[in-house]
């Protein structure tokens, strides 16, 4: 398994490639689909090698190019059912901020949301906690990690590689998401991720991090 990370506007898109094909984890902002396909071709694959477009949650910086990427590859889009509301309408959805300043910034972004319309869609596959994705060529399962959004998921590979979306960030250091729908659930999800004892975590924003960095951040919160 090879992982290649692309910065697609605001967030990271991850390409997970193996001899069984490619899984795209998060599709980036709108108008990023051709760039993603070009990166796929640059690595010796064709668009038809994409088996699945898996969205860790439904925000525009992760789902914005999902429909366009599906058109170019033919691959199905997968999302947790609890985030279906986020991709059903074009308007920008930003949950409450982690603190007052972040909340104000979210309000500004919401005010200009008309400039960033989402191409709406209904997923082809509903992700569920514990679901195996071996039918799509990867030795991984879905772990429901809500908090940032109600339908946020982590993709957990058998080798200890995790893709946590925005459940945890690592921009300057490992942290909780800047915006979250349910802080208590976000903290519980961080503990669930820690309990998986990951070898490496790929995040939607920032650099990958290991278990030591995760434990240092979570501290005694998980008991």
- CA torsion through residues 173, 147, 25, 8, sign: negative
pLDDT digits (tens, 9 = 90+) for 154-186: 999 999 999 999 999 999 999 999 999 999 999
Q: Which of 59, 33, 22, 55 is nearest to 181 (CA)?
A: 59
Residue 11, helix vs strand vs coil: strand
Q: Does the predicted model carry a pTM greater than 0.85?
A: yes
Distance CA 52, CA 57 (A): 15
Assess whether pLDDT exceeds 70 at residue 223.
no
Q: What are the structural domains, with CATH classification, of the chain? A: 2-218 (3.60.15.10)
pLDDT score of 105: 83
Say how far apart CA 69 and CA 31 lie, in whole Å: 9
Q: Is residue 89 pLDDT above 70, yes or no?
A: yes
The secondary structure of the chain in percent helix, strand, coil, rounded to multiples of 5, reads 30, 25, 40
């Amino acid at each position: 398994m090879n992982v290649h990370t692309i910065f697609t506007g605001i967030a990271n898109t991850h390409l997970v490639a193996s001899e069984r094909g490619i899984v795209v984890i998060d599709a980036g902002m709108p108008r990023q689909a051709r760039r993603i396909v070009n990166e796929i071709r640059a690595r010796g694959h064709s668009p038809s090698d994409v088996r699945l477009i898996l969205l860790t949650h439904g925000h525009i910086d992760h789902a914005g190019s999902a429909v366009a990427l599906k058109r170019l590859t033919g691959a199905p889009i997968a999302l947790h059912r609890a985030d279906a509301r986020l991709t059903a309408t074009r308007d920008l959805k930003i949950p409450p901020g982690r603190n007052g300043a972040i909340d104000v910034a979210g309000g500004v972004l919401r005010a200009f949301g008309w400039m960033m319309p989402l191409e709406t869609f209904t997923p082809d596959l509903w992700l569920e906690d514990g679901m195996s994705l071996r039918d799509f060529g990867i030795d991984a399962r879905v772990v429901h990690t809500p908090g940032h959004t109600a339908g946020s998921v982590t993709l957990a590979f058998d080798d200890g590689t995790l893709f946590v979306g925005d459940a945890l960030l690592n921009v300057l250091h490992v942290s909780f998401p800047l915006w979250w729908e349910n802080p208590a659930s976000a903290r519980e999800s961080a503990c669930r991720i820690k309990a998986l004892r990951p070898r490496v975590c790929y995040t939607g924003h920032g650099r990958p991090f290991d278990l030591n960095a995760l434990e240092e951040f979570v501290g005694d919160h998980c008991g």
